[in-house]
Amino acid sequence: MKKLVRFGVSLDHHLLDAFDHLIERRKYTNRSEALRDLIRDNLVGQEWDQNKETVGTITFVYDHHVRDLTRKLTHIQHDFQGHIMAGMHVHLDHDHCLEVLVVKGKGSEIRKVADALVSVKGVKHGKLTMTTTGKGLV
């Protein structure tokens, strides 16, 4: 069984009020759970900064009518096939497609994949969402 440690935190009352509103909006049952998530999120960010093995998703929307765009996107994905674990393609409307790629590797390598895809002309919006493999995270 994990050992729980209690500790006190002093905060400006305005900051605590804002934190309590965040807790309420996100439906946390208590401050401790919200604080644990904030700490974990920071630790995940450090995994990326330290270039550790990690995972994430690259989500992007593009106009599939842009000349040669789908070929370029496919070519980039093949260039980084060791980092792309899975993908999902959705037709949003007559003109637009959404792709979600699950990626794995060192943080800097995954950023290269995301940058290569999102920067292609015809990609309207893209975002890399970083997370963790969970190894070593409490």
Residue 137 domain-assigned (yes or no): no
Q: Which long-range contacts (CB under 8 A, 24 or more apart) does 132-137 make?
A: 132/43, 132/44, 132/47, 132/54, 132/55, 133/53, 133/54, 133/55, 133/104, 135/53, 137/40, 137/43, 137/44
Residue 138 domain-assigned (yes or no): no
Residue 104 binned pLDDT confidence (cut-offs 50, 70, 90): very high
Judged by phi (left if over 0) then psi (alpha if -120 to 50, else beta), residue 48 lies in alpha
Residue 8 domain-assigned (yes or no): no
The whole-number pLDDT of residue 27 equals 93
Number of Cβ within 10 Å of residue 114's Cβ equals 23
For the chain, the average pLDDT equals: 91
**Run of H or E residues at 39:** helix 31-49
* 91 DSSP β-pair partners: 97
How many domains are there within the chain?
2
Q: Does residue 42 sit in the same domain as residue 62? A: no
Which pLDDT tens digit goes with each residue over 34-78? 998 888 888 887 777 777 888 999 999 999 999 999 999 999 999
The whole-number pLDDT of residue 128 equals 95
Kindly state the tokens that stand for 107: 């943080």
Kindly state the tokens that stand for 63: 């106009």
Q: Which of 89, 130, 88, 137 is nearest to 110 (CA)?
A: 130
Number of Cβ within 10 Å of residue 44's Cβ equals 19
The whole-number pLDDT of residue 4 equals 84
Residue 7 domain-assigned (yes or no): no
Domain that holds residue 39: 13-49
Kindly state the tokens that stand for 40: 């974990």
- Over 80: is that where the pLDDT of 136 sits? no
Kindly state the tokens that stand for 100: 């979600």
Region of poorest pLDDT, from 37-41, 77-81, 115-119: 37-41
Q: What share of the chain is helix, strand, coil (3-state, %, to 5)?
A: 40, 30, 30
